[in-house]
Homo-oligomer: A and B are copies of this chain.
Amino acid sequence: MNKLTLKTIAAHFNVSVSTVSKAINDSHEISEELKVKIRKFAKQNHYKPNRVALNLLNRNTKTIGVVIPNILNYFFVQVLFGIEQVADERGYSIITCSTNESLGKEVKILDFLCSGSVDGVIISTVAGEAQLSEHIAHFEELLQKQIPLVMFDRVTEMIECDKVVVDDIEAGYKATKHFLETGCRSLAIINPIPNSSIGRLRIEGFKRALKEQGIPFDSDMVVSLGVEDDLELTISLSLNLKELNGILVFDEITTVKVMDLLRSKGFLIPKDISVIGFTNGELSRYASPPVTMISQHGRFIGETSANKLIDRIEGKDDKAKFETKTIKTSLVVRQSTLSMEQQDF
């Protein structure tokens, strides 16, 4: 009973394959009697049309490929969750690929995704702008094959497609302003994603907020942290913690690590140093103290991306020009920063 196909059923009833097909699809062309017989048999034996065959026939797969840099990062999981929701509602499955922050793997994955296994792709690329200028071929292949593409979060201007981005300038501005408003004026940034353009944008917002208050920006305020770098070493080499009273960190896990480090060195948060992080996940909520965070609304980003992609796939906005949607962030104020009132005294 391994393979139950139209053919098998046809043989069983001594009719033709197309008759069975029509019967199962409830065509009016087939006699009621025969239809009932066939459908009953099909139901009993759990007949299901082979999706692969249908995919070949319809030239679609009702599947979308999702490519993220790291599945252990809560932000991306939130996005994935949003995508999953929408995909499910609209009748699509998702095939998830993690690049583990490796450009090589990203190329391999995109190559694979070009081969007809998916109807469209949602990606947050691992490639920084420098790398992309040399290594953009894997994207162009997708575009050339007319496979709809939506980039989110880590995007690039070098590729023309729909995009869903966070308003990172505003996010950096908002966080910095909160520092300033609560009396923290000696600030630093820790950037664990130095290759990505989003870091640059957040720093842009940081600068803007400083400028408004007439505080000069100095590039020493920004500490880049490579994947391999030791947090403690890097920080002790680059920052004079005693003079700081606010640190902005660009991802969630690094945020709590920085807080651990500060505590172990005897600093009190937020009394001595305030901390604001990015990505409002569970870690921030239950860390001690609970962390003031920029929420990028990952789930909403996922939903937006998925809806846009599926619209594209289904040709709903066939002629519409590519669109970049900007998702506003929120500052979720908790106890790792001083309160406004506290500061007033």
Contact = CB atoms under 8 A, between A and B. Distances in A.
Given A56-B53, A84-B98, A117-B52, A144 B287 contact: no
Given A52-B117, A71-B77, A2 B146 contact: yes
Interface string A10-53: 00000000000000000000000000000000000010111111
Interface residues of A, number: 46
B260 A115 contact: no
A245 to B, nearest CB: 22
A61 interface: yes
A320 interface: no
The complex is assembled from copies of this chain, and their number is 2
Given A81-B72, A283-B282, A283-B283, A49 B115 contact: yes
Interface in A278-317: 282-283, 286-288
Contact of A51 (B2, B117, B253): B117
Interface stretch (A89-97, A182-190, A236-244, A325-333): A89-97
A305 B56 CA distance: 30
Contacts of A93: 95, 97, 112, 117
Interface string A96-120: 1110000000000001101111000
Contacts of A55: 52, 55
A63 interface: yes
A80 interface: yes
Given A77-B71, A283-B282, A141 B56 contact: no
Nearest to A140: B46
A71 B81 contact: yes
A158 interface: no
A145 interface: yes
For A55, A80, A286, the residue with the greatest tally of chain B CB atoms inside 10 Å of its CB is A286
Nearest to A45: B144
A132 to B, nearest CB: 18
A46 B53 CA distance: 24
A122 interface: no
Nearest to A76: B77
A151 interface: no
Contacts of A84: 71, 96-98
14 contacts: A2-B146, A46-B114, A46-B141, A48-B114, A50-B115, A50-B116, A52-B52, A52-B55, A52-B117, A53-B56, A71-B80, A71-B81, A253-B282, A286-B287
Interface of A: 1-2, 46, 48-53, 55-56, 61, 63, 71-72, 77-78, 80-81, 84, 93-98, 111-112, 114-117, 141, 144-146, 253, 256-257, 259-260, 282-283, 286-288
The 7 A-B pairs of least Cβ separation, nearest first, read: A288-B288, A256-B286, A51-B115, A50-B116, A96-B96, A95-B95, A48-B115
